Amino acid sequence: MSGSGTTAADDPLQTAVWRLRSRACWTDAAALLERLAATDARAALQRAALLGERCLYTEQGWAAAEDALRAAEALAHDDGERGAAACERGQLAYSATLLGVRDRADEARSALGRAAALLPPGAPGRALLDFRRGLMAENLSDSPQAARAAYRRAHAGATAHPDPLLLSFTWRHLAGLALRDGELAEARHGFAESLRIREELGYLVGTAPALASLAEAEPDPEEAARLRTEASRLFRLLGGVPTWLAEHLPTAA
């Protein structure tokens, strides 16, 4: 799941889910899908993804996410659905490892590898899988070259099969690698594109991290301070999520 509910063609349910998700109300968004998710594999996967995203942003709700994911895995009946479920399994294990809840790196690699075997290049969900494999390479394997290649594949996929929210993530992470290499102009461009997309989509919960990232690449101290102040305001507005942003915004802690 990435940009569900972000276009005019989406049905009222998806629009309601998107509005709640974008405002950090993942549990409420998942509740809207609960009845449909009991029998529909796609809804079950979306519900599991919502609760998994909650874990990454709040460091809470792991048991509920695991339960939802097991239910989605049980309903998956074709390669596409099984691949998507494996992708969510890998992401949840990655999140637990990244946040220090429990080392599940081997499980994450195995699940994402299984997803790659089930989702061929160009398949729905492949761009999201490539992005998540990039996260693994960057943050758990310390392999920026592999991460960059995976992010670029994800970026191309999200462009070819328009997924603006995923593009906001690929722009941001490619920019982060550019910043790491000292390429400030490239980093600023990528961070600015990520912020622009998130503001256009109304993805409020992702706007504070985008502002904070852009501040890191901003050479003007006054502008960097303005960006961090705005990020802090949004961070407080949403009750301190994503939790991991606090260390980058000391005034908002």
Q: Which residues contact 117 (CB under 8 A, 6 or more apart)?
A: 83
- Residue pair 28/34 in contact by the 8 Å Cβ criterion: no
- Which residue has 């195995």 as its token pair? 110
The pLDDT, as a whole number, for residue 253 is 38
Percent of the chain having pLDDT more than 90?
Answer: 92
Strand segments, DSSP code E, in 71-141 are none
108: pLDDT strictly greater than 90? yes
25: pLDDT strictly greater than 60? yes
The pLDDT, as a whole number, for residue 249 is 85
Chain-wide mean pLDDT for the chain? 94
Q: Which residues contact 167 (CB under 8 A, 6 or more apart)?
A: 155, 158, 159, 193, 197
Tell me how crowded residue 67 is: count the other CB atoms within 10 A of its CB. 12
53: pLDDT strictly greater than 80? yes
Q: Which residues contact 147 (CB under 8 A, 6 or more apart)?
A: 134, 135, 137, 138, 173, 177
Q: What share of the chain is helix, strand, coil (3-state, %, to 5)?
A: 75, 0, 25
Alpha-carbon gap, residue 222 to 92, rounded angstroms? 38
Report the predicted TM-score, pTM, of the whole model to 2 decimal places.
0.94
7: pLDDT strictly greater than 80? no
Alpha-carbon gap, residue 250 to 179, rounded angstroms? 21
Predicted confidence (pLDDT) per residue in 120-173, tens digit: 998 989 999 999 999 999 999 999 999 999 999 999 999 999 999 999 999 999
The pLDDT, as a whole number, for residue 124 is 85
The pLDDT, as a whole number, for residue 251 is 55
Tell me how crowded residue 199 is: count the other CB atoms within 10 A of its CB. 15
The pLDDT, as a whole number, for residue 248 is 84
